[in-house]
């Protein structure tokens, strides 16, 4: 794992978008490997990256025809039309602006009647494409990745997750009131993230400082899920100077 220390939120977004644009641009589909598989996050951090991907598509630099996406997580109980659902977020910030076929987009269904089956089927679907090539992610203030809260085993696969009070409070900024925030989510597991061939995590703003410092100490601790990145041989955390004010 490597920390890449940049100055501004803009430089973080440009750095990450450039990696993705290059990989999408270079990808040559073959019979054995017809799709580049991206793992995608929501949250405010990836929005400027998505803007850059949309721009690159509009400028004709990249196409998403040979890209398959798996979103990291979704709230339990929110329909895709709900403005705070991650389905809605992804359409608004990325999918409706690009040429990805809708049947190459996978997002966990938080309305599924059988949530456990939804999770096991999602893992199977990821495996059917040969796993995730590039997993993009943000980081929670408490070090969570996707919705894997502290104490989630590093070996976890896609599962139903009870959200911590901290996460509910942090995410309540997007809802009318605290009581509107779902208390459960579906999330890919830490093992699912770790299985990705390449992991790119972004951390911007000083609220992420504690989490980034814990990871950079080199420890592996289930109290800070993102520390699992320390064991991965192709993972980076791209930070702005407020999230990692070293150098």
Is 85 a residue that touches ligand GLP (CB under 6 A)?
no
Q: How far is the CB of 243 from ligand GLP (least distance, A)?
A: 10
d(CA 247, CA 241): 9
Single out the residue of 48, 140, 143, 182 in contact with ligand GLP (rule: CB under 6 A): 140
Q: Please list every residue from 120 through 139 that binds ligand GLP, using CB under 6 A.
A: 137-139
Q: Please list every residue from 169 through 208 that binds ligand GLP, using CB under 6 A.
A: 171
- Choice between 62 and 144, CB closer to ligand GLP: 144
* Contact criterion met (CB below 8 Å) for 130 and 36: no
Q: How far is the CB of 185 from ligand GLP (least distance, A)?
A: 7
Task: Report the sign of the C-alpha dihedral through residues 37, 224, 119, 179, in that order.
Answer: negative
* Contact criterion met (CB below 8 Å) for 189 and 162: no
Is 110 a residue that touches ligand GLP (CB under 6 A)?
no
Q: Please list every residue from 152 through 171 that binds ligand GLP, using CB under 6 A.
A: 167, 171
- Choice between 46 and 62, CB closer to ligand GLP: 46
Nearest to 24 by CA among 58, 55, 65: 65
Question: Binders of ligand GLP: how many residues, by CB under 6 A?
Answer: 15
Nearest to 124 by CA among 192, 61, 40: 192
- Choice between 110 and 140, CB closer to ligand GLP: 140
CA distances from 68 to 2, 38, 99, 228 (A): 26, 6, 12, 25
């Amino acid at each position: 794992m490597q920390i890449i220390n940049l100055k501004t939120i803009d430089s973080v977004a440009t750095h990450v978008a450039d990696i993705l644009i290059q990989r999408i641009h270079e990808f040559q589909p073959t019979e054995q490997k017809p799709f580049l598989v991206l793992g995608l996050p929501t949250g405010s951090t990836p929005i400027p990256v998505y803007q850059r991907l949309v721009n690159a598509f509009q400028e004709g630099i990249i196409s998403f025809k040979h890209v398959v996406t798996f979103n990291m997580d979704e709230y339990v109980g929110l329909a895709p039309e709900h403005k705070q659902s991650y389905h809605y977020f992804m359409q608004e910030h990325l999918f409706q602006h690009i040429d990805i076929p809708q049947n190459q987009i996978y997002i966990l269904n938080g309305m599924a009647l059988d949530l456990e089956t939804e999770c096991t089927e999602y893992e199977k679907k990821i495996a059917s494409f040969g796993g995730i090539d590039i997993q993009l992610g943000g980081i929670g203030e408490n070090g969570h990745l996707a919705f894997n809260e502290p104490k989630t085993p590093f070996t976890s696969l896609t599962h139903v997750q009870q959200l911590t009070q901290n996460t509910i409070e942090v995410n309540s900024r997007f809802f009318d009131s605290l009581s509107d925030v779902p208390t459960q989510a579906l999330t890919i597991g830490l093992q699912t993230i770790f299985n990705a061939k390449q992991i790119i995590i972004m951390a911007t703003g000083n609220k992420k400082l504690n989490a980034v410092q814990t990871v950079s100490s080199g420890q592996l601790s289930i109290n800070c899920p993102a520390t699992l990145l320390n064991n991965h041989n192709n993972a980076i955390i791209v930070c702005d100077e407020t999230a990692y004010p070293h150098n």
